A and B are shown apart, each in its own frame.
Chain A
Amino acid sequence: MNNISKTLIVVIVTALFAGCIEQQKTPDQPINLVKMSGQDMIQRLGTGEIAGFIGWEPYPAIAITKGYGKPLFYSADIWKGHPCCVVAYDYHWYNNTRNADDILNRMALVQLKSVEYINNAKESGSPDHADLINYSMAFGGMTNSSAAELSLKDVQFVYSPNIPGTETFISKIMDFKIFDSNKWNQSGYKNASDYANHLITNRYVDWAVKNRENNLSSIALKETVTIRYGYLLNDIHELPFYVGWQKGWFRAVGINITMAPGTPFENGAFEMQKGFKTNSVDIGSLGIPPVIIHRINSNDFSVDDARVGVISGMNNEGSIIVVAGNITSLADLKGKTVGYPGPGTIQHVLFLMAADNAGLKVSY
C-alpha cells in the first residue's frame, strides 16, 4: 500500500509539474471564453465580473439599454450576412410520418409568412410595429420596449437557407478541430460542400414561395397533425416561429404546435443532444453550428439518431460582442473573461473568427 501510494504521489506531482511546464507554453494572455447563460452574461457584465460577452439578441440589447456595456462588434462586422438560426426536422420523425413532406412544406410557408410580417412590422411607422414589439418582449423575456426595439435592429430575418454560408461554417469548424475526427470519418462526407448539401434542402422553401399568395386555410393539411417543436430560450432570432404560433398560422395550415420536452433549450447543443437525438423534438429552430457539430459528434452512425435536415433559414447575423465601457478593441480583452453561450454555438465560432482576424488567441 505504501509503495503504491508513493508511486501515485510521484505520478501526480510529476503531472502537476508537467502542467506547470505546459502552462509556460500557453500563448501570451489569451481571451478567456467562459460559458454562461444569457441572464448571467448581463448580470456579470453589470457587476464587472466579465469584461464582455458575445450573445444572441436580446441579451446584448438588454445589457446596452441597462448601461452595462456597449457594442464592440456586430456579428455582421465579423462576417457580413452570416447564417445563424435555421428550422430543422428530425429524420426519425420524418421516416415515421406519412405526410412529412406536406408538413414541412407548410412549416416553410409559415416561416416565409412570419418573416415577411416581421420585416414589414420592423419599420416604426408600420401599423403592426407595436404588436411586433409586444411579441419580442414576450418571447425575448424583456420588460423594456427600448431593449425590444434595439434587439430587432441587427437581426436579418430570412426564410431561405444559406448553403454557401453553411459550407463556410463547416470549413471553420474543421479548421478549429471541433469535430470528433473518428465521427467525421464515420459520417462519410467528403468535404464541407458535400456535408452542407446533404444537410440542407431548398425544396420546401421553393414550395412555400410558389404558394405564398394562397390563403393558408386553402392549402391546409386534410387532417391536423401535432408537432413537438423545440426552440431556444429567449432567442429573438427565432421570433418568426413565435409570431407564426401566436398569429395562429400553424393552426391555419393544419399543424398543432406543442412544446417539445425540454423546450425552451438553453442552447443549440442541448437541443441537438436532448431533443433531436432522443427523438423528442420533431421540428425545431436552433443555430446552424450546433446542427453541424452534433449531427457528427453526437451521432450514433449505426442508427443515425442525431440526423436532422434543414428546411429553411430563420435569421442571418444578430449577435453582438458587448463590452465594458473601458474596452475599446478586441485586444483589450486579452487575459480577460468573456461570456459566451457555450462551445459549438454560433457565437463561439464567430468569436474565434473575430479573434483570428485580430491575430489574438482565445481559450475555451
Chain B
Amino acid sequence: MKNNTERKGLVINILSLISFVILWHILVLLAREQIFNIPFMKMKDLPTPLETWYALVGSMFTHTYGPGFTYGIFDHIKASLVRVVQGGVLAFIIGVPVGIGIGYSRLIHNILNPIIEIVRNMPPMAWIPLAIFILVTGGSIFIVFIGVVFPIILNTIYGVRSTDARIIDAARTLGASEAQIVAKVLIPSAFPSIIAGLRIGFGVGWMAIVAAEMVIQSPVGLGYFIWNMGDLGRYAEMVAGMIVIGVVGYIMNISILLVQKRFVKWVD
C-alpha cells in the first residue's frame, strides 16, 4: 500500500517536472513567434529547454580556446561546494557551543542574546560590501558562515531548552558534573534540532554563496559562472548554471536529511 502511494507520488513528481519543461518550451516559442508573451517579460530572450541542455552539456568540462581557458561546470560546483562546506563547518564549530551556552546559561543568554537578535536579522547578502572591505581573503566563506551560523545557534538553543528538565536533574542527582551534563545529556538531546539547523543553514548558505560569488568574485564558482555568462550574452549557459544551482541545493538538502535519518535514530 505504502509502495503504491510512493510510486504514484513519484509519477506525479516526474509528470510535474515534464509539464514544467514543456510549458517553458511552449512559452518561449510562442513569444519568439510573436503569438503570445507574458506581460512585462521578454520570454523570447529566454533559451528553450533544449538550448539550455546543449549549453549545459557544452559547459560541463573545461575548455581551452587559444590562450583562454574556461572552467567546466563541475569545477564551478566543486569550488562553490568547498566554500559552503568550509563556511558551514566553521559555523557548526562556533554555533553549537554558543547555542548550548545561551540555551543552558541565563548569564550567557543575557550577554549574547541581544547581539544575536540584532545581527541575525541582517541578511547574509547585506554583509557582502563589508566583507569586501574588511576581509583580505575568504569573503565568500564568511558570507556562508553568516548564513549558516544563526540557524544553528537558534536550533541549538531550542534543542537545549527542549531537554526534559527531569533528565538533567536525574543526571545531577547521580553526581554528573556540568561538563558531563552538557556532553551526555544536552548535546544528544539537542542533536536532532542541531541537524535541523544545519539543514536550514546550508540552504541559506548555498543561496548566499551564489550571491557572494557574483560580487566577491573568484575565478571559479557557480555564481561567478552565471554572472560571466550573462556578461557575455550566453543566456543558455547562464540558465543552465541556474538549474545546476537548484539541483545541487536540492541534493544537498536531501543528503543532510539522509544523514539525519541514519545517525539520529532516537528521533521519530
> What residues make up the interface of A, taking CB atoms closer than 8 Å to B?
1-2, 4-5, 8-9, 11-12, 15-16, 18-20, 22-23, 25-27, 30, 32-36, 40, 47-49, 175-178, 180, 182-183, 267, 269, 272-273, 293-294, 296-298, 300, 302, 337, 342-344, 352-353, 355-356, 360-364
The answer on a CB contact under 8 Å between B132 and A180 is no
The answer on a CB contact under 8 Å between B137 and A49 is yes
Shortest distance from the beta carbon of B63 to any chain A beta carbon, whole Å: 8
B258 CB contact (under 8 Å) in A5, A26, A362 = A5
The answer on a CB contact under 8 Å between B219 and A16 is no
What separation, in Å, do the CA atoms of A271 and B55 have in the docked complex? 25
A293 CB contact (under 8 Å) in B227, B232, B235 = B232
Residues of B within 8 A of A356 (CB): 66-67
Shortest distance from the beta carbon of B6 to any chain A beta carbon, whole Å: 7
A26 CB contact (under 8 Å) in B69, B231, B235, B236 = B69
A20 CB contact (under 8 Å) in B70, B78, B231, B254 = B78
Using a CB-CB cutoff of 8 Å, which residues 193-222 of chain B contact chain A? Answer: 217-220
What separation, in Å, do the CA atoms of A353 and B70 have in the docked complex? 16
B162 within 8 A of A: no
Instruction: Closest B residue to A297 by CB, please name it.
Output: B233
Return 19 A-B CB contacts under 8 Å, by A number: A4-B10, A5-B258, A12-B251, A16-B74, A18-B61, A23-B78, A26-B75, A27-B69, A32-B218, A176-B67, A177-B65, A182-B51, A272-B233, A297-B232, A337-B218, A343-B232, A344-B232, A352-B67, A364-B69
Q: Contacts A16-B77, A26-B62, A35-B228 hold; do A352 and B68 have CB atoms under 8 A apart? A: yes
B164 within 8 A of A: no
The answer on a CB contact under 8 Å between A22 and B231 is no
Q: Contacts A8-B254, A302-B34 hold; do A176 and B217 have CB atoms under 8 A apart? A: no
B contacts with A, residue count (CB < 8 A): 47
Instruction: Closest A residue to B227 by CB, please name it.
Output: A35
B68 CB contact (under 8 Å) in A19, A22, A47, A364 = A364
B72 within 8 A of A: yes
A361 CB contact (under 8 Å) in B10, B69, B137, B257 = B69
What 11 new A-B contacts, CB under 8 Å, besides A8-B254, A364-B219?
A: A5-B255, A8-B251, A26-B69, A32-B218, A175-B65, A175-B66, A296-B233, A302-B34, A343-B231, A343-B232, A361-B69
Q: What is the total of A-B residue contacts with beta carbons within 8 Å? A: 134
B170 within 8 A of A: no
The answer on a CB contact under 8 Å between B231 and A342 is yes
Residues of B within 8 A of A11 (CB): 251
The answer on a CB contact under 8 Å between B65 and A22 is no
Using a CB-CB cutoff of 8 Å, which residues 1-18 of chain B contact chain A? Answer: 6, 10
Shortest distance from the beta carbon of A345 to any chain B beta carbon, whole Å: 9
B178 within 8 A of A: no
Shortest distance from the beta carbon of B164 to any chain A beta carbon, whole Å: 31
The answer on a CB contact under 8 Å between A302 and B44 is yes
Instruction: Closest B residue to A25 by CB, please name it.
Output: B62
Residues of A within 8 A of B70 (CB): 363-364
